[in-house]
A = this chain, B = another copy of it.
Amino acid sequence: MVKNSISFTNQEKDIAQKIKRLKEKAGSHSPSIYTIAEFVPQLNITVDACFLSNPYATDLFFHYFTEELIESGKIKEVLEYYPSQNQTIAGVLSKHLNVSPKNIFVGNGTTEIIQAVIHNFTAEKIVVNIPTFSPYYEFVKEGIEIVYNKLDKQDNFVLNLEDYIQLIKKTKPDTIVLINPNNPDGGYINLERMEYFVSELSWVKNVIVDESFIHFAYEDVEYNLRTLIKISQKFSNLVLVKSMSKDFGIAGIRAGYAIMNEHKVNRLLKQGYLWNLSGLAEYFFRLYVRKDFLRAYEKVRIPYIQASQQFFAKLAGIKGLKVYPSMANFVLVELNNGATSTDLTAKLLLKYGIYIRNCADKIGLDGQFVRIASRTTEQNQFVMDCITDLFRDV
């Protein structure tokens, strides 16, 4: 046995094998806790620290949903009738975002938006950072060149904007992608630098900036949102992508939107995407723009950011772990104590019922990496205690 490795009982080994196979089957994504629970019923999963969402915001949404749709009985209409069409829901979002509906495209989750944009607008070459969210390269059509900009572990995976701009100038792509904060490391580029970046790339046809985790990033003590939305009208090549499942924890509803120039929105709408949102997604967007909901949301957003950052700082204190700086609601953790990410993931699940993201499949990550999501304060403390406990035994 390798020094400092995590040990398993024979029974645990069997289950660990089963989990490993499930993961392999799921490709570059992780099996959901339901899939795992279905195939490995003996597991008792208590914390889903693979799932990237603010659980307090889910509770808030669910409170409104229960009162306004369930208790009123309106849910039946929401399930039965056709939801509004794409541009009607864009109109709902318009006032809140202060962006014309002609520049808004709503999607059945961000994966649909990424697919639509890359399939329709990327004709020759795309530049993406790695590690990254895999659909940005997986959805690229055959025959299109993918240029990877590898973020360096030695630099804490911090994106060097100048180098990135130079690479883009050199390789002359028609599409570039930047996720801010980045997934899976949480690296953040401040708004001023992002504005500079976008302004340097006015000649690139499609500048995709994915701000799905932006609700967790901050630059001041009031945790004000720092997004490119305000300047989106200045750059007609900018495609600003936003998932709603990270901040609101409603992945089952499938809701996202993107801001892009009118020509692009029209081109997508001409090709379909007519009724791509469900009745529940429409309800969510109509709720999302309401002042009462937004006020209540701020009260669960800010404390969650604070608790998340405290959690990350505590994790960094565990010997043998390197915790990378994150402005998202998760951290990338490197194991420097001889344990493998596959063993740690399996052991946490088997012994404590904690599910974390094994990053063994992530291209661009050389070493032993896991990604741990911030959940409720109590769950974060439990994760912290269990990892501490586990590595005390190693």
Contact = CB atoms under 8 A, between A and B. Distances in A.
B251 A80 contact: yes
Nearest to A274: B111
Contacts of A79: 58, 61-62, 65, 250, 252-253, 280
A249 B280 contact: no
B62 A272 contact: no
A150 interface: no
B32 A84 contact: yes
A69 to B, nearest CB: 10
A276 B273 CA distance: 12
Contacts of A111: 272, 274-276
Given A35-B88, A112-B276, A139 B83 contact: no
A96 interface: no
Nearest to A108: B108
A254 B272 contact: no
B34 A58 contact: no
Contacts of A29: 85, 274
Contacts of A32: 81-82, 84
Given A252-B280, A278-B253, A272 B139 contact: yes
A233 interface: no
Specify how many copies of this chain sit in the oligomer: 2
A245 to B, nearest CB: 8
B252 A78 contact: yes
A249 B80 contact: yes
A353 to B, nearest CB: 16
Interface string A48-89: 100101000010011001000010000111111111110010
Contacts of A139: 271-272
Range, interface on chain A: 35 or more
B280 A108 contact: no
A115 interface: yes
Interface string A96-140: 000000000000110110110001000000000000000100010
Contacts of A249: 80
A33 interface: yes
Contacts of A226: none
A364 interface: no
Contacts of A109: 275-276
Interface string A250-291: 111110000000000000000111111111110000000000
A232 to B, nearest CB: 24
A251 B81 contact: yes
B252 A80 contact: yes
Interface of A: 26, 29, 32-35, 48, 51, 53, 58, 61-62, 65, 70, 75-85, 88, 108-109, 111-112, 114-115, 119, 135, 139, 141, 245, 249-254, 271-281
Given A58-B79, A115-B273, 7 more contacts: A35-B84, A62-B79, A79-B280, A81-B251, A82-B245, A109-B275, A254-B277
9 contacts: A32-B81, A32-B84, A78-B252, A79-B280, A80-B249, A80-B252, A83-B254, A108-B278, A139-B271
